[in-house]
Structure 1
Amino acid sequence: MLVSNVRPWAAEPSDVYLDGDRIAAVTAHDPRRALEASDVEGRGRLLIPSFSDVHVHLDSTRIGLPFREHTGGPGVWAMMSNDRENWREAEIALPKRVAGTLERMIARGTTRVRSFAQVDVDCKLEKYEAVVAAKEKFADEAEVQIMVFPQAGILREPGTEKYLEAALEAGADVMGGIDPCALDRDPVRHLDSVFGLAEKYQVEVDIHLHELGTMGVFSTDLIAERTRALGMQGKVNISHAFGLGGVDEATTRRLVELFAELDISWTTVAPSITDHLPIADLTRAGVRIGLGEDGQRDYWSPYGNCDLLDRTWQLAFVNGFRRDDLIGHALAVATIGGASIMSRDVRRLSSLEDRPGVSAGDRADLVLVDGETLASTVMDRGADRTVIHDGRVVADGLKVLSVAESY
């Protein structure tokens, strides 16, 4: 398939040839070349890798439903309890909500997804199974990894661990953890369980870390110790971690070096808190960084709209990025950055100017989007998008082509 007259990462107009699920060649645009019926007319749009949402909770979504009053209280436990009280009473059944949310994400250019699926004594495997069903429904349109997630902790409620293990036995891709000190209040037992199950089922680890300051640093050091001891370099991700950069300069430098040494990646959702580790320093050190939307207009928060380009704007905004290269880097984090977390075969971003993913040999997971420059694309967030997954057009004009009618 030929993708004609596009500008890879806002460069000169080019013709991009696809062969199966790979980019075969990129040449200067030839306006005289006739297009076949299966070719794609780029119309001078930008060509970037497809978006990678590597931190999303598909299982708690209310996308497509009426807005409701936010009733959650402060803190993880209060928010989780609010979700428990309400998620079964939504206007549409959970499997349909989850599939509809994933559909909207694909339509806007996200074809790589790491979704969490809450597993506990309340929902058991019901939420996990809803995410599995959505993954299977859109298997031809997106790559989805599912992280089994103890949102309520592992130790606070007897029986939680057996449900986590059941989800891993059923095929979950990643083992999750959360706030070893603040929520379960026993970081050794919590992390022993997380890493023990990950080692048993040979899956990666992804830990939500909302803990701030020295407590967050303490938990991070425990995570790093286990990563090193078990030889799990390149198999551990820390999500959020928005307070690790607020202790002191020496601690910040040490943690950047520790993440780089052990290939521990970091996923941010671009929160308003700015005490996270510095993105530029992490990138220069070779640390993998990805972006996610977190909740999708759910019982935790009214934010989230299935468009990772919007969240890219937020990433640039909360970090005070104004220079074009920094805004372009935010876009690289939202696309190939997350892809390098989902698959360590995808090379990490090496600098603030690095713009990989649209060259010969790269996987043909691509988005065509309108814009003059990378910065203008992030600022304007246009709707003229064509989405390609594994060398096939799967969405156009904010609509997934395989879906006759959305809810």
Structure 2
Amino acid sequence: MTLTLLHDVRPWGGAPADVLVDADGIREIAAPGTIDPAITTADAVTIHGDGGILIPSFSDVHVHLDSTRMGLPFRPNTAGETRWSHIMNDRENWRSAERPVAERATYTLGRMIAQGATRVRSHAQVDADSGLEKFEGVLAAREAHRQRAAVEIVAFPQVGIHLEDGVPDLLDAALRSGADLIGGIDPCEIDRDPVRHLDTVFDLADRHGVGVDIHLHEGGSLGLFSLDLVLERTRALGMTGRVSVSHAFSLADRSPGVDRALEQIAELDVALTTIAPKGSLSVPLDLPVERLLQMGIRVGLGMDGQRDYWSPWGDGDMLERTWMLAFTQGFSRDDLIEDCLAIGTWGGASVIDAALPRLAPGVRPGVAVGDPAELVVVRGDTPTAAVMDRDPRRIVIHRGRVVAQDDELT
């Protein structure tokens, strides 16, 4: 088994150390130069960290690799103002991209890994227009980088499940062909039949033994109603710890119904993912992340689209998205900014794997003996400085092996 010695790194910005890792995890942490030289000289590949900060690798738990245009010529955004207009804009333009889905997804996933993400959950659109083509493109990207990152794929019905014929069968086929989770989207606003939409999602999950990840942009009381239907089915099917809700904007308005929803989310161990949106006083979109951490609710961070037909935002760098999370939350204290860094790294990992220890305010897991060897070395005087500066010089480790260094795949 290959050993890697990370020489002179600072776990979560602490004292300098040497860290010995292999495919199974972190084996030893000791003062620089004190790990058994018989091991390090004969069996280990030594990587010099030069005093960089060692943190868990980034986890992008909400991305759409099938729609990315990263690496291609810039196209102005031609979508309208509504969510439906964005969905249709994607449908009208995706086939005219300069590269097929598999090539675009593979390129973007490579950029994400090079910048420090080794755990990814990507949605792949399945609908009557694209069939399984987008899903198969994301499958190809996962295979291309299977030695560099762990990738989950969500079979995602972006255009609804029951508006067009044959979509449930296509979702079933995607799950039989390698999708890890079944998705859903705004059951009231898109399909306009929330019970039927969610019954189909949870029936597919139950039949295939997979988890669920629901896009829930619906805000206010409508969103809380849809969320209650999700929680009801989670409880009925015994799916504690196997359901995620993306966006969950209805939890941002701090209305009285939010307290009850959060209590149920914590009880049923439903995970939440955010893309660090910037809302307003009249339309709040930002999740109360510190409260979520205090309640032991799993919360992760994602990039969402990446310079696609929805928006020009997204460049594959989860350290930048961590900065955005701290910014949109209005944080300036170092401990709160570090909480955002923990969400962008270990928080997302716990969304993918509910067995991992939970985050809490001020808790900095992921760099102790026995933790997975999913790591990244970033540059900065402190973790907060690393978030502010976002130096591209990084060392990325997946299963104990360096897979990228200084913004290049190895």
Report TM bin, short chain. Answer: over 0.9
Residue 308 of structure 2 aligns to which amino acid in structure 1? Answer: D
Of all paired residues, the percent bearing the same amino acid is 54
- Whether 1:188 aligns to 2:231 is no
Shift of 1:241: 1.0
Report the TM-score when normalising by structure 1: 0.96
Residue 386 of structure 2 aligns to which amino acid in structure 1? Answer: T
Task: Select the residue among 119, 122, 138 that pairs with 1:112.
Answer: 119
Task: Select the residue among 223, 226, 231 that pairs with 1:224.
Answer: 231
Shift of 1:244: 2.1
1:129-185 deviation digits (Å, cap 9, x = unpaired): 000011011110000000000000001111111111110111210000000111111
Task: Select the residue among 335, 343, 346 that pairs with 2:353.
Answer: 343
Correspondences of 1:356-375 after superposition (within 5 Å): 356-375=365-384
Give the whole-Å Cα distance in 1 for the aligned partners of 2:137 and 2:23: 30
Residue in structure 2 matched with residue 10 of structure 1 by the alignment: 13
Residue 62 of structure 1 aligns to which amino acid in structure 2? Answer: R
- Whether 1:145 aligns to 2:152 is yes
Task: Select the residue among 386, 392, 402 that pairs with 2:395.
Answer: 386
Tell me the secondary structure at the aligned position of residue 51 of structure 2.
coil
Shift of 1:396: 0.5
Residue in structure 1 matched with residue 218 of structure 2 by the alignment: 211
Give the whole-Å Cα distance in 1 for the aligned partners of 2:205 and 2:370: 32
1:24-73 deviation digits (Å, cap 9, x = unpaired): 11112238997747111110000000000000000000000111111011
Residue in structure 2 matched with residue 255 of structure 1 by the alignment: 261
Correspondences of 1:252-401 after superposition (within 5 Å): 252-273=258-279, 274-349=284-359, 351-401=360-410
Is the 2:188–2:194 Cα contact (8 Å) retained in structure 1? yes
Give the whole-Å Cα distance in 1 for the aligned partners of 2:254 and 2:16: 47
Shift of 1:203: 0.3
Residue in structure 2 matched with residue 79 of structure 1 by the alignment: 86
Tell me the secondary structure at the aligned position of residue 131 of structure 2.
coil
Residue in structure 1 matched with residue 32 of structure 2 by the alignment: 29
Give the whole-Å Cα distance in 2 for the aligned partners of 1:277 and 1:377: 23
Q: How well do the aligned residues superpose, as a CA RMSD in angstroms?
A: 1.4
Residue ranges of structure 2 left out of the alignment (5+ in a row) = none
Tell me the secondary structure at the aligned position of residue 76 of structure 2.
coil
Is the 2:216–2:246 Cα contact (8 Å) retained in structure 1? yes
Give the whole-Å Cα distance in 2 for the aligned partners of 1:76 and 1:89: 21
Give the whole-Å Cα distance in 2 for the aligned partners of 1:344 and 1:103: 26
Residue 258 of structure 2 aligns to which amino acid in structure 1? Answer: T
1:101-150 deviation digits (Å, cap 9, x = unpaired): 00000000000000000000000000000000110111100000000000
Is the 2:223–2:249 Cα contact (8 Å) retained in structure 1? no
Give the whole-Å Cα distance in 2 for the aligned partners of 1:199 and 1:97: 32
Name which of structure 1's ranges 13-22 and 148-157 shifts more when overlaid on structure 2: 13-22
Is the 1:214–1:247 Cα contact (8 Å) retained in structure 2? no
Tell me the secondary structure at the aligned position of residue 42 of structure 1.
strand
Residue 310 of structure 1 aligns to which amino acid in structure 2? Answer: E
Residue in structure 1 matched with residue 208 of structure 2 by the alignment: 201
Residues 166 and 7 of structure 1: is their aligned pair in 2 closer, same or farther, counting only changes over 3 Å? same
Shift of 1:275: 4.1
Residue 327 of structure 2 aligns to which amino acid in structure 1? Answer: F
Tell me the secondary structure at the aligned position of residue 220 of structure 1.
helix
Tell me the secondary structure at the aligned position of residue 38 of structure 1.
strand
1:187-207 deviation digits (Å, cap 9, x = unpaired): 000000000000000000000
Shift of 1:352: 1.1
Residue in structure 2 matched with residue 174 of structure 1 by the alignment: 181
Residue ranges of structure 1 left out of the alignment (5+ in a row) = 402-407
Give the whole-Å Cα distance in 2 for the aligned partners of 1:317 and 1:25: 35
Give the whole-Å Cα distance in 2 for the aligned partners of 1:211 and 1:335: 27
Tell me the secondary structure at the aligned position of residue 294 of structure 1.
coil
Tell me the secondary structure at the aligned position of residue 198 of structure 1.
helix
Tell me the secondary structure at the aligned position of residue 113 of structure 1.
strand
1:322-349 deviation digits (Å, cap 9, x = unpaired): 1100000000000010000111121121
Question: How many aligned positions are there?
Answer: 399
Residue in structure 1 matched with residue 63 of structure 2 by the alignment: 56
Tell me the secondary structure at the aligned position of residue 27 of structure 2.
strand
1:359-406 deviation digits (Å, cap 9, x = unpaired): 0001101001111111111000001101000000000111111xxxxx
Shift of 1:247: 5.1
